[in-house]
Amino acid sequence: MSPRQIDVHPEAVAEARAAAQWYRERSALAADAFLAELDRAVERITENPEMYPRYVRGTRRYLLQRFPFYLVYREVSGKLELVAIAHGRRKPGYWKRRIA
């Protein structure tokens, strides 16, 4: 199966940038590792979106392995949408307003 395209919510882009900046201020290696893991996560989601567990409100969740973040995504009208790149311990469910 060929990878599917994924639309990324603008606020998810901002979350990725903010997290990468936070890591970069502490360690360029950590920031690069975060971005590499994020890229791998998106690639895996697009290759097999049904593989990851159902979450809330019709979404699915992909947990990053080395960092305390998870990706929330869903399929809408046959397209994938990355809704959030959320920190695992901050404001649970804050992203739900994005899928209302």
| Tens-level pLDDT at each residue, the chain (100 residues) | 567 899 999 999 999 999 999 999 999 999 999 999 999 999 999 999 999 999 999 999 999 999 999 999 999 988 999 999 999 998 888 999 999 7
Task: Name the CATH superfamily, with its identifier, for domain 6-88.
Answer: RelE-like (3.30.2310.20)
Domain ranges of the chain: 6-88
**DSSP SS3 for 64:** coil
Position 95, amino acid: W
How far does CA 65 lie from the centroid of its chain?
Answer: 12
Q: Which two tokens stand for residue 40?
A: 């791998």
Q: Kindly report the number of other CB atoms within 10 A of residue 71's CB atom.
A: 26
In this prediction the pTM is: 0.92
- C-alpha span between 38 and 63 (Å, rounded): 10
